[in-house]
Each structure stands twice: as C-alpha cells, then as structure tokens.
Structure 1
C-alpha cells in the first residue's frame, strides 16, 4: 500500500503546492497558514509527512490550476449537469473521493476564482482554494486517481462551462472514466440501442 508520504511527494514532484491536513479531515489545519506555507519543496514535504505520517494531503489550487468538483449524492447530484458538457471537455486526470464525487484537474491560462454551486452540485476550486489529494483517507476510505491521465489544458468548452455559457445539448453519459478511456462510441451505441428497444 502506497504511503501518504509517497502520494505527497508525487504531487510535489509535479509542482503542486501541497500541505498537510489533520488525520481523517478535509478541513482541519496543521499549519498556521496553508495559503502561505503550501509548497512543492520535496525536503519540506518529507519533513511534514515524517512528522505527521497519516496526515491527509491538501492540494492548493489557483496560479494556473483548477479543479472542477462534481458532487454525487442524493442532495446534490452534479453528475446530471456534468453529463451535458463532459463530452466536450479534454481528457484529464480524475480523482474520486470517498463519497464518490469527481475531481477534474485542469490547467488554465487565466485567473479563475472559486465558485460554490456554480451549478447544482458543482463547484470550482481556483484562486485561494484547495482540494484533498489522492491517497488521503476519510473514515478509512481513500481518495484515489480513477483516471490516471496527464492533466489537460482547459479548452473553450471548459471556459464556457465556468462562464455558464450553456450551449451544449444534454447527453446520457454515465461513466466519465470509461468514455475517456476510448469506449465512448460503444457506450453511446449501447444507449441508443436501449432507447430503440423501449
């Protein structure tokens, strides 16, 4: 089983600014100011996770990096909204949370603020924000990379989505990872066959 230190070092090696969170927490801080102290310095990361080996990983957003957070629960089902857009988005890394939410990682060429409820069940973590990184655990359940793809640069579809330019038709796309892995045509074909049989 890969240690949290290894996960933290992987983020730092990719030049993400990271910081430790308290064990089993998404928000409880260890540092005085994660915004000022988050770093990609490998020595500092090793120091933190040797002192706090079970600390969760906070991944700072902003400065050219955003995360689209898609909730998946009875109260806030962002998947239904995301289905209208995902086919137009570039393939990118996806982290899944213990609650089965999606984190879509994108590089951006402009400052993007944090948006809460940009759409129902969807938020953006941008300037001044953070997400919990892969390898972290809540109640024994892990955050994990469900699609280990290179992090993509946001395209016009992503920017339109953030700017609420709703111009793409709704599609039934239920499994983002499978679609991204090259099974999109087979998947859409099966959906159409099922529709025709009804």
Structure 2
C-alpha cells in the first residue's frame, strides 16, 4: 500500500477544480522549479504526481491568472491562526468596503498568519493583475501574473486549510471597480514642456520604461532604483505614493514568473526603494 501523500492529494484536488498548480519549496512560499513557474503550472495529473512523488513535502502554488481566478488576500488576523473561525468573520474587512456579505461568500482558505484567501472567478474584462492595498489596508489581490499558496501547504507558522468549500463565486462588480488600476500620471493638455507637472510625468514615464525593459539580470535592482527616484519626489509632496506604486507595479508585473521573480520580490523592491528615497526628498515644483 503506497504511503500517504497529503500534499500530492491536495495538489490533485486543486487541479481537478481546473486550477493550474506547481510546486513550492518545502515549508516555504517560493517556487521550487527553475525557470518560469508560470510556464510550469499545470492541471496534468501525471506531471503533478511526478512532482510530488519524488519530493512529497513540497508546498502547492496555484497560478491565479492561468486558473481564471482572482484571489483576495486579507491579512487582518481574526483570533489565532489555529482557532476555529467562520469565513464570514474573516470577510468583515472586505464587506466593509463592498457593502454587504450577500455576494462575497466563496471558496476560502485560512492562512497561517490568521488571515484568509477568498477565491473568485476573474472577470474576462477588464483583465485584472495583482494589487497591494488597492481595496483597503491589509487587503491584497492576486490575478494575472500572480499565484497563491494552496490549501494543504504548510510553513513554519502553520497550515493553509480550507474553511469554506463552497463553489468559487463571481467577483462582485464593486470589487472589480476597485481593482481596476488607476492610470499612470499623464501630461495634461495645458502642460508645456517646461511646466513642473509635465516634467514630473516625464520622470515617472522614464522610470516605468526602465522597469518594463530592464537589462538582463537587473530586474530587482532596476525596480528598486526606480522606486528610490520616485520615492524622493513622493517625500517632497511632488507625487502621490499610491499612483507611483500602481505605475511601478504595472510596469514590473509582466516579469512575474521569469527566473523565479515573484510578487513578494516586486512589492519588497518597491517598498524598500520608496523608503530609501524618502530619506532625501527632491523638490521640483515652484511653490
């Protein structure tokens, strides 16, 4: 009789739902395979058995965009991670934004930190990527180009476990509207080349282009440096942080999955760069 392999079983269950899975490192949230995790993600049972039969302790990654999913990640803790908790309690921060619970209940996974992942069908249009805090504090999302850690996985903090097994619901229109990224700063018709707003827009556009087209093996450092440049302008009150984050995230998202580049790395590079740049504010506008 073959030995029990709960992570293999969980990966096969996810694939049976039509979700594209790939292995993560044991007790971790980072991809275990070389190259693009996005190109490896699959629903093929044979490939999945091969991955987890040879290394049964690997965690499970679910490619959200490939799977037609938009997953809302609520980091706010409700009780202790191991305590029994109803999914509706964890949905409270989202309901506060969306208005009610009536169409929010969906397949849900409790995370070891005490938050939860709520799975929704991603809309075909607009195509939604990933976001950080766009819906509200401690509420992130994973869509095109992203992934989440699947149920059954384990880290040093504890297990990812299903707390609501109902079918995946459609993403409510109120959340779709909130998740559409704001447009990057643009030149206004009244902006002359020498006008401060035109100059600022040019700086943002140049940094976004660098981030979108980095030299080989410079993806992280290019993103960090761009965040430093724009962080100095944010600290001086010249630019809006949310808009800068949205612009840099949009420019860098297409690289998610290349050479193991993850959303965690993307967010860390931006956050660290903005914080470093804030130490040296750069004033441009005439006051």
Say whether the fold is shared (TM-score over 0.5).
yes
**CA RMSD, 1 decimal:** 2.3
Matched, 1:130 2:139: no
SS at match of 2:18: coil
Q: Structure 1 pair 39/67, CA: closer, same or farther in 2 (3 Å)?
A: same
Q: Is the 8 A contact 2:108 2:163 kept in 1?
A: yes
Q: Any idea what the Cα deviations from partners look like across 1:62-98, whole Å, max 9, x if unmatched?
A: 1421100000259xxx966424135143421010011
Matched, 1:72 2:72: no
Report the Cα distance in structure 1 between the residues aligned to 2:104 and 2:76, rounded to whole angstroms. 21
TM-score by length of 1: 0.74
Report the Cα distance in structure 1 between the residues aligned to 2:122 and 2:26, rounded to whole angstroms. 31
- Number of residue pairs matched by the alignment: 161
TM-aligned CA deviation for residue 28 of structure 1? 4.5
Q: Structure 1 pair 47/112, CA: closer, same or farther in 2 (3 Å)?
A: same
What is the match of residue 93 of structure 1? 107
What is the match of residue 151 of structure 1? 168
Report the Cα distance in structure 2 between the residues aligned to 1:109 and 1:160, rounded to whole angstroms. 11
More strand by share: 1
Q: Is the 8 A contact 1:18 1:38 kept in 2?
A: yes
Q: Is the 8 A contact 1:89 1:157 kept in 2?
A: no
**More contact order relative to length (CA 8 Å, sep ≥ 6):** 1
TM-aligned CA deviation for residue 29 of structure 1? 2.8
What is the match of residue 108 of structure 1? 122
TM-aligned CA deviation for residue 153 of structure 1? 1.5
Equivalent positions of 1:23-42 (< 5 A) are 23-42=26-45
TM-aligned CA deviation for residue 41 of structure 1? 0.5
Q: Any idea what the Cα deviations from partners look like across 1:86-141, whole Å, max 9, x if unmatched?
A: 51434210100111111010002221111112121011100000000000001161
Task: Identify unmatched segments of 5+ residues in structure 2.
Answer: 79-89, 182-287
TM-aligned CA deviation for residue 32 of structure 1? 2.3
Larger Rg belongs to = 2
What is the match of residue 51 of structure 1? 54
Task: Identify unmatched segments of 5+ residues in structure 1.
Answer: 165-198
TM-aligned CA deviation for residue 155 of structure 1? 2.8
More helix by share: 2
TM-score by length of 2: 0.52
Q: Is the 8 A contact 2:28 2:59 kept in 1?
A: yes
SS at match of 1:135: coil
